[in-house]
């Protein structure tokens, strides 16, 4: 192979060797099998447990609007029966908050305060 046909990687290697010979570049350390450094340990990140309402056979379709509203009403019924701080009611609150847009929830809360919320509770 002539100099014009030399592999560019060979040129780079020869330049590196020349630099090492001149003292311009430090030689690579010898590598022994099994001495490769281990990868860094994975970062300990805080994990969030995201949950949504479980599947409900009453709402098999993709559009979850009715499912959202039904869960909101279930939450209201639970509050009426068991009180505001009942642990069972917090479960229903998580369900409707995961399904419903926050704008809807705000509007329904306002309607509930004014006594104009449609639907049976």
Residue 61, φ and ψ in degrees, nearest 5: -95, 165
Per-residue confidence of the chain (121 residues) as pLDDT tens digits? 555 565 655 555 555 666 666 766 665 666 565 666 666 777 777 776 767 777 777 767 777 788 889 999 999 999 999 988 888 898 889 889 988 999 999 999 999 999 898 877 7
- The residue extents of the domains of the chain are 65-114
Residue 63 pLDDT? 77
Number of residues assigned to the chain: 121
Is pTM beyond 0.85? Reply is no
Which residue in 75, 120, 113 sits closest to 96, CA to CA? 75
The dihedral built from the CA positions of residue 105, 111, 116 and 120, taken in this order, carries a sign that is positive
How crowded is residue 53: how many other Cβ atoms within 10 Å of its Cβ? 21
* Cα–Cα nearest to 70, from 113, 114, 104, 103: 104
């Amino acid at each position: 192979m002539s100099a014009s046909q030399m592999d560019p990687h060979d040129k780079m290697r020869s330049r590196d060797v020349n630099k090492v010979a001149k003292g311009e570049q430090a030689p690579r350390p010898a590598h022994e099998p099994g001495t490769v450094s281990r990868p860094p340990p994975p970062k300990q990140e805080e994990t969030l447990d995201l949950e949504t309402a479980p599947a409900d056979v009453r709402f098999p379709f993709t559009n979850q609007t009715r499912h959202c509203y039904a869960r909101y009403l279930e939450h209201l019924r639970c509050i009426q029966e068991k009180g505001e701080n009942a642990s069972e009611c917090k479960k229903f609150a998580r369900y409707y908050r995961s399904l419903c847009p926050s704008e809807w929830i705000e509007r329904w809360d306002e309607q509930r305060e004014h006594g104009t919320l449609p639907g049976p509770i």
